[in-house]
Amino acid sequence: MRQERVTVPETRYAKTSDGVHIAYQVIGDGPFDLVEVGGFVSHLEFAWEGVEYAHYLRRLAGFARLITFDKRGTGMSDPVPVHALPSLEQRMDDFRAVLDAVGSERAALFGESDGGQMAALFAATYPERTQALVTYGSYARLRSAPDFPLGQSDDFLEAFAIDMEDAWGDEIAEGSVWAVNATRDPRFRDWLGRWTRNCSSPGAAATMLRMSYDIDVREVLPAIRVPTLVLHRVDDPLIPVDHGRYFAAHIPGAKYVELPGDDRLVFAGDVDRLVDEIEEFLTGTRPEPEIDRVLRTVLFTDIVKSTERAVSMGDRRWHELLDAHDAVVRRELEHFRGQEVQTTGDGFLACFDGPARAIRCARAISDRSRTIGLEIRAGLHSGECETRSDGLAGVAVHIAARVAALAQAGEVLCSRTVTDLVAGSGIGFADRGVHSLKGVPGTWQTFAVEQA
């Protein structure tokens, strides 16, 4: 996925009828307004530091004027007392205040998780201001009841809230219920952990979660009279798919679409498939995928012990050093005709149409980085890639990332495929053995570049 260079939208504030300040952003200038009503926590500005989250927002803003906001008590909006649960009506007031602040008289609503409940209530209450309703991973009620066997027991829900509060701020575990597949990527896990810590404190997060336990919109659903699309991933590990089916079945005329996947978070997993459904529903057209399969040599770089260096240097000096590192990498990519695909915070993903130039570029980056006091590791693999308008995809990208993870400090590590393609180039290699690469079938022989 290409890391597009975008400016983080300006954050502004709307004031509710009870004096609470709600942070919001407006992205894009599409032909109609689309309001994203997020889940129980969010952070407007930190979201843009996540490659996946930024891509998700750009996709939505590609066909509408996107309006997004932090609910009260989370992100950049005013906090709430940790033991005071804002009502759904108060949350809806937040929503209305943002619409008024941006001058939106009528908008399509996209509610995720408990945000779907709020969006559903707004659509039923203010149909004249609602163009359409879309929900993802939402539910009518979480607690079980004699007339609602889909729900969870009080003991289960309270245990989940306690466990979440105790673990809040810790490193996100691989295979987390929030994003089973996406958290296999350590880069995503690291960003997701930092995102949650910026969204909310542990106590406030538990408060927001418990608030969602007490909301029941079953009686609201039949009153919705606007065009509605309900989306749910089939293997959602947190909110089973039966909740999505119930939600859609009780809204007159709702369209229901089940999506493959086991990532709970809306910005994780196959985001493009999900947004395609939304775009087609709201505009009547689905974008044609721009896919071109080509052979590329993929390069991943990563600064060794970046976290330790950041802690020891302090934020300002570390960011200055990162800027110098980024300038070094971009100079060498330009010199060796490489294409920057994305940055990863402390590293780069790039691709080349020639493996020898990719190797020489990686060595040059390593050497130049050392002159500014940094050690990097780099990994290379050549294979067929899908070049899309939104980045680079394919197994070759995953293999290059896994190879890079095996490299030692100062080392440029290549797959056997790369070494075979540069035979006769004068580049020397040292055998680094055969490895199993996580998530990739078979075993892979790797080689360190000794002479380039």
Instruction: List the structure tokens of 79.
Output: 């906090």
Question: How high is the pLDDT of residue 353?
Answer: 83
pLDDT at residue 82, rounded to an integer:
66
CB-count exposure of residue 174 (10 Å: 0-12, 13-18, 19+) = middle
**Angle (CA) 108 109 113, round 5°:** 160
Q: pLDDT tens digits for 173-225? A: 877 888 888 888 888 888 998 999 999 988 888 888 887 887 889 989 998 99
- At 7 the pLDDT is 61
Residues of the chain with CATH 3.40.50.1820: 12-283
Q: Is the pLDDT of residue 2 over 80?
A: no
> pTM score, two decimals?
0.66
Q: pLDDT at position 288, please?
A: 61
Convert the pLDDT of each residue in 415-439 to its tens digit. 988 988 887 778 899 999 988 887 7
Structure tokens belonging to residue 154: 């009080």
What pLDDT score was predicted for residue 449? 92
Mean pLDDT in residue range 244-248: 97
- Taking only the tens place, the pLDDT of each residue in 80-103 is 876 666 777 778 888 889 999 999
pLDDT digits 0-9 by tens, 318-357:
888 989 999 999 999 999 989 898 887 788 999 988 889 9
Res. 281: pLDDT tops 60: yes
Strands 21-27 and 65-69: antiparallel
Q: In the predicted model, is pLDDT for residue 231 greater than 90? A: yes
pLDDT at 286 over 90: no
Residue 250 has pLDDT above 80, yes or no: yes
User: How confident is the prediction for the chain on average, in pLDDT?
Assistant: 88
Instruction: Please write down the HEC assignment for all residues of the chain.
Output: CCCCCCCCCCCEEEECCCCCEEEEEEECCCCCEEEEECCCCCCCCHHHHCHHHHHHHHHHHCCCEEEEECCCCCCCCCCCCCCCCCCHHHHHHHHHHHHHHCCCCCEEEEEECHHHHHHHHHHHHCHHHEEEEEEECCCCECECECCECCCECHHHHHHHHHHHHHHCCCCCCCCCCCCCCHHHCHHHHHHHHHHHHHHCCHHHHHHHHHHHHCCECCCCHHHCCCCEEEEEECCCCCCCHHHHHHHHHCCCCCEEEEECCCCCCCCCCCHHHHHHHHHHHHHCCCCCCCCEEEEEEEEEEEECCHHHHHHHHCHHHHHHHHHHHHHHHHHHHHHCCCEEEEECCCEEEEEECCHHHHHHHHHHHHHHHHHCCCCEEEEEEEEEEEEECCEEECHHHHHHHHHHHHCCCCCEEEEHHHHHHCCCCCCEEEEEEEEECCCCCCEEEEEEEEEC
Query: Which residue from 402, 423, 414, 406 is spatially nearest to 447, judged by alpha carbons?
Result: 414
Residues near 158 by beta carbon (within 8 Å), at least 6 away in sequence: none
Distance CA 271, CA 40 (A): 19
Position 4 scores a pLDDT of 40
pLDDT over 50 at 76, yes or no? yes
Of all residues in the chain, what percent carry a pLDDT higher than 90? Answer: 54
Please name the CATH architecture into which domain 12-283 falls.
3-Layer(aba) Sandwich (3.40)
Q: What is the pLDDT of residue 167?
A: 87
What residue spans in the chain does CATH classification 3.30.70.1230 cover?
A: 292-451
CA pair distance 157, 235, nearest whole angstrom: 20
pLDDT given at position 1:
37
The model's pLDDT over 362-421, given as tens digits with 9 standing for 90+, comes to 999 999 999 999 999 999 998 878 776 667 788 888 899 999 999 999 999 999 889 888
| pLDDT tens digit sequence for 133-158 | 999 999 999 999 999 999 999 999 99
* 21-35, 228-242, 417-431: range with lowest mean pLDDT: 417-431
Judge: domain 292-451, CATH 1.10.3720.10: no
- Kindly indicate the confidence band of residue 6, based on its pLDDT and cuts at 50, 70 and 90: very low
